[in-house]
Chains A and B, each alone.
Chain A
Amino acid sequence: MALAPQLEQVLGKLLHYGTLLASAVIAAGLLLVPASGAMGVRLATAGIVLFILLPVVRVGAMLVFFLRARDYRFGAIAALVLLIIIFSYLVGAR
């Protein structure tokens, strides 16, 4: 378990800065809307997509970490979570 605190630090930073980035993109988009309508909406949409992808990237980071730590059981669990999420998007697109 010696490696675990390190992973916690990495995930904490990823989620923190990811939230800041997505929020900044959304704010920029909304502020642009009065000036250039569609352009601003598109930027805000990009920010929303960033928010949706952030937890998915977090699962991906855990997958990489578990594989590197040769913890194949939890690597498989993280991969399963990713697969379920991808499958859910496919169901949505259907």
Chain B
Amino acid sequence: MSQEEKKIIITFVIQGKEFPIEVNINQNIKGAVHKALKQANQQGSLEGWELRTEGGELIDMNSSFKDQNIINPTKLYLSKGAGRGGL
């Protein structure tokens, strides 16, 4: 399979549960996040959601997996931002 068609399993972790999604490394990350959130019964838009690596690095969901150097199966962590409050 060429690099252009390479498919991998990304496991999204949402509120402690795993949601494996098959993705093409060239596809936009947002689409896969949307699928994972739907499986987790998290309705609504992606607004406020943040995607991170195990090391805590924030991932730009508007880019592709390949652009973010995610080309092998891995776990990514979805959670909401802090929301209200703060100084």
Asked if A and B are interacting partners, one says no
- B-side interface residues toward A, CB under 8 Å? none
